[in-house]
Structure 1
Amino acid sequence: MAIVIIAGLLFRGNLSFDRSFFFLKKQDKSCKIVKTSFLRNYGPLQVKRYSYLDIKMMTNSFKTKLGQGGFGSVYKGKLPDGSLVAVKVLNRSKGDGGEFMNEVATISRTSHVNIVSLLGFCFEGSKRALIYEFMHNGSLEKFIFDAKIPQKGHHLGWETLERISIGIAQGLEYLHRGCNTKILHFDIKPHNILLDENFWPKISDFGLAKICDRKESIVLMLGARGTAGYIAPEVYGMMLSEMVGGRRNINVQADNSSEIYFPHWIYKRLELDQELGLQSIVNEEDKVRARKMIIVSLWCIQTDPSNRPAMKEVIEMLVGSVESLQIPPKPCLFSPPKSPAVTDSSTTLVSIQ
């Protein structure tokens, strides 16, 4: 009887081992397919690959969490040379790794003061992580959406906000025209803008980015991609209006749809030459900066792509005088749904001049 039990346990053990081996083999095969496809499309990488053990060591077993998102978690880490890094550990349910390797490929192709630097990555079965340069002040989101809480002292001041808006525009212009290939970032929003110790902005999160031919000036996107209202790169203006208003464009607490959409509200005040009613404007210089950012944001969100300025023009508008700016046509955009996620298919024309 004992022999039968032992034999049964050994059989179950071997079966369990075989299943585990089969799973690991299948996972390893999937990983190799993704990497082969990646090398064929993008060529060899210029960034270092780390093992999962390396990731655990550099984060001190994931001791300090910097942030949490739908993609996974970001942890504070340290490289052997003492350099601080931010380690983005992706959820295991991230598919076969195609989107992950797309992000690795996209960022590794960039080199710009307003683009976050990718220092390395980990792709070990279902374990995936990205190692970025460490940004001491985290995301722009916490500084603008908490601006109404005085004790936190989060309002950055209009001079800093203007500098951040110019930096982001310069980063986008580089992605469109400065790279060997055009890179479209489909999720430009405050959460994806990181700030260093001097509040210098850097664009991050390239998981949904698209690399396209330099000859293309208009890209037709079929299907949902990114966050509603932040899809076309020029709709950077949506984020710009959030920076100005110190609130999300969509106020989910409001019942009246005409009151929840900030661009409509601010355009009416601009059209009637009323006070902008914005917080922390303390002098004439602040008023000029706010007005300029509002006008630029409204030009950027024009529904017709031919009416939207190219990012080079956006920079010129932001650094120029407010007197030279014309008031754009009234935005034809309707108030987006209260849910920030895109759930249905859509067709979007993206101007990438």
Structure 2
Amino acid sequence: MESFFRAILSLFCFVLIVRVIELHAAKDECQPKKCNHHAIRFPFRLKEQPDHCGYSGFELSCNEENQTVLELPRNVKLFVKRINYKAQWIKLHDPVDCLPRQLPNLNLSASPFQDYRDKINGPPQKYTIFNCSGQKLKTLYEYSSYEIHCLSVPGFVVIAFPSNSRHAFNLLNCTRTLMNISVIAVSEDMLYYQSDVQLSWSKPNCRKCEVEGKKCRLKINNSITADDTECWGKSKKQRDRPKELLATGIILGSCLLGIIPFGLYRVHHSYKAEKEGQLKIENFLEDYKALKPSRYSYADIKRITVQFKEKLGEGAYGTVFKGRLSNDVLVAVKVLNNFRATGEEFINEVGSMCRIHHVNVTRLIGFCADGNKRALVYEYMPNESLEKFIFVAKDKDRFLGWEKLQDIAMGIAKGIEYLHQGCDQQILHFDIKPHNILLDHNFIPKISDFGLAKLCSKEQSAVSMTVARGTMGYIAPEILSRNFGKASYKSDVYSFGMLLLEMVGGRKNIDVTVESTSQVYFPEWVYNCLDKGEEFGIRIESEGHAKIARKLTIVGLWCIQWYPTDRPSMKAVVQMLEAEVNSLTVPPNPFGHGDGVRTASVNIPRKPINRELEVIFE
């Protein structure tokens, strides 16, 4: 949390510094001002700004209605509609929409502005203002004359007539206006639009500064020369770069502001989960102290394995190393992965194996729970796992023989039966496969790896599961889909059935490297071989071996029925393995009709009936 507050403080200081810089810049008395939507800057200035902030004659004011006002000589006040600093022109508007009323007082020669049209049309035309009665308006346009609507009243028309016109014009009913001026020089736009006028200025010339994106100002030495202004400051590109950096800094700071708390939360959550996991394990081990498993420190584990020198294998939840105890007893040390801080696999394995004392289940010698370092110490199995023998069974040097395979199958079945019925609580393994069947020096099978196991009451027949457990190829259908029923001890029966079929076929049940596409779905291929009396993957040399292969196949097919209630219990499986093959019935074919060849003993698969089981919640 200290790091979090330090990061917040740093960000606050950064924002504060930026704000101070902005306020310091704001103290510049000649900074551009806003009036209405106009940005007032050099050569213009507002009245409240010092004289050096603008150029002579470019004084503006902001009235109470927030309107920008330009006052020209002889008290001509006009509203500013737009200022174009690059093109150096300003568009003005008469407050009462009648610019001609101010023409007698409008003297541009006394101001720094010129009529914008002078550049295009030359010097302005001179007009005389008349007040006429009874004149037809259409005659005015024939002589380039203009009616001044805002000054006209009913019965009298005010017109501006060009003074140098060569055309005769009936002035009998006209008199000069009382505007104290009869001849004025004015652009035609003023007479045509009568409310707006666009003026330009040539001095000061700040076009170069505007194009470069720099600021324009009076020269600091105040020397009056032909060019008494200068460009200063950074160009727009140079000014934008710090802004871009500032924006980038703010964005990165905002991201860090979001990431840091999240990261701290994750670290805190992980640390909390790890501590809770360690406390959970310590409480668990305190409860199981009566079972007297040996407890080792992590330093002991490193000493036993000689710094993890000899690796025996690796699984989903840990790596197994060969070790030696002080009394020269060989052991297998499984070092658990640390990616799950709750220690669920550790508790499952120790909790399950401390209850087990069976010849066909691996014996747990001890464990290590040293902080987040966890390991399990088992008796050493010199012949390693079953898969190293059955999947190379076509190799005569590695083939164990059909009698030995039958003994191994019987031992595994008795071990699973013990887990289901022989302990105080029912232990469901959920990961029966050849890799988890170890063989001792006499090839007696030992069930190992209880990381996915669950303990439940023997009176219950099903268990709820929040996630699927097991290895693909051995997972029962009901674990993947509730359409087949609920997970129970029958799920282990399914996995054992797949193991039996692999022992008979001599290859994995998921194998896309087979020569024939008809063998891709392994259980169906085994069923068809049994149905047609064909030889399996392993060569059979005698009738006795054929009977063993047929028995193991029939039992395996019974165990992998789709619906849990169609599968036998492990007690029934043991009885089937002890029985003669002729007394066994071929189970229904759950895989389809194969190539159409069927035996009389094979029944059509039944549609499932109500198979609801009572559920044990996790």
Superposition TM-score, scaled by structure 2 size:
0.48
> Are the structure 2 counterparts of residues 120 and 161 from structure 1 closer, same or farther at C-alpha, using a change threshold of 3 Å?
same
Stretch moving more, 277-286 or 54-63: 277-286
Per the alignment, residue 75 of structure 1 pairs with 321
- 1:252 and 2:512 are equivalent in the alignment: yes
Per the alignment, residue 300 of structure 1 pairs with 559
- 1:179 and 2:439 are equivalent in the alignment: no
Per the alignment, residue 7 of structure 1 pairs with none
Matches within 5 A, 1:268-287: 268-272=528-532, 274-287=533-546
C-alpha offsets along residues 176-203 of structure 1, whole Å, 9 cap, x if unaligned?
Answer: 1100000001000000000000100000
2:339 to 63, 85, 93: 93
The residue type paired with residue 572 of structure 2 is E
The residue type paired with residue 369 of structure 2 is F
The residue type paired with residue 523 of structure 2 is P
How far the C-alpha of 1:349 sits from its partner, in A, is: 8.7
Are 2:362 and 2:448, in contact at CA under 8 Å, matched by a contact in 1?
Answer: yes
For 2:537 and 2:391, locate their aligned partners in 1 and report how far apart those are by CA, in whole Å.
Answer: 13
For 1:333 and 1:218, locate their aligned partners in 2 and report how far apart those are by CA, in whole Å.
Answer: 28
How far the C-alpha of 1:32 sits from its partner, in A, is: 3.6
Q: Secondary structure of 2:376's partner? A: strand
Per the alignment, residue 143 of structure 1 pairs with 389
How far the C-alpha of 1:204 sits from its partner, in A, is: 0.2
Are 2:392 and 2:398, in contact at CA under 8 Å, matched by a contact in 1?
Answer: yes
2:405 to 161, 166, 169: 161
User: Alignment identity in percent?
Assistant: 52
Structure with the higher helix share, 1 or 2: 1
Matches within 5 A, 1:83-232: 83-149=329-395, 153-231=397-475, 232=491
Stretch moving more, 141-150 or 48-57: 141-150
Higher RCO structure, 1 or 2 (CA under 8 Å, sep 6+): 1
Q: Secondary structure of 2:378's partner? A: strand
For 2:592 and 2:289, locate their aligned partners in 1 and report how far apart those are by CA, in whole Å.
Answer: 41
Superposition TM-score, scaled by structure 1 size:
0.82
The count of corresponding residues between Structure 1 and Structure 2 is: 315
Are 2:425 and 2:456, in contact at CA under 8 Å, matched by a contact in 1?
Answer: yes
For 1:211 and 1:176, locate their aligned partners in 2 and report how far apart those are by CA, in whole Å.
Answer: 10
Gaps of 5+ in 2: 1-267, 476-490, 594-610
Gaps of 5+ in 1: 1-21, 335-347
Q: Secondary structure of 2:455's partner? A: strand
Between structure 1 and structure 2, the one with the greater Rg is: 2
The residue type paired with residue 185 of structure 1 is H
Stretch moving more, 167-176 or 231-240: 231-240
Stretch moving more, 322-331 or 97-106: 97-106
1:317 to 564, 567, 576: 576
Matches within 5 A, 1:309-348: 309-332=568-591
Matches within 5 A, 1:16-35: 29-35=275-281
C-alpha offsets along residues 226-245 of structure 1, whole Å, 9 cap, x if unaligned?
Answer: 11242311011001101111
- 1:47 and 2:327 are equivalent in the alignment: no
C-alpha offsets along residues 134-164 of structure 1, whole Å, 9 cap, x if unaligned?
Answer: 11100001111122345xx211110000000
Are 1:303 and 1:333, in contact at CA under 8 Å, matched by a contact in 2?
Answer: no
C-alpha offsets along residues 197-218 of structure 1, whole Å, 9 cap, x if unaligned?
Answer: 0100000000000100110123
> Are the structure 2 counterparts of residues 283 and 50 from structure 1 closer, same or farther at C-alpha, using a change threshold of 3 Å?
same
Matches within 5 A, 1:227-246: 227-231=471-475, 232-235=491-494, 236-246=496-506
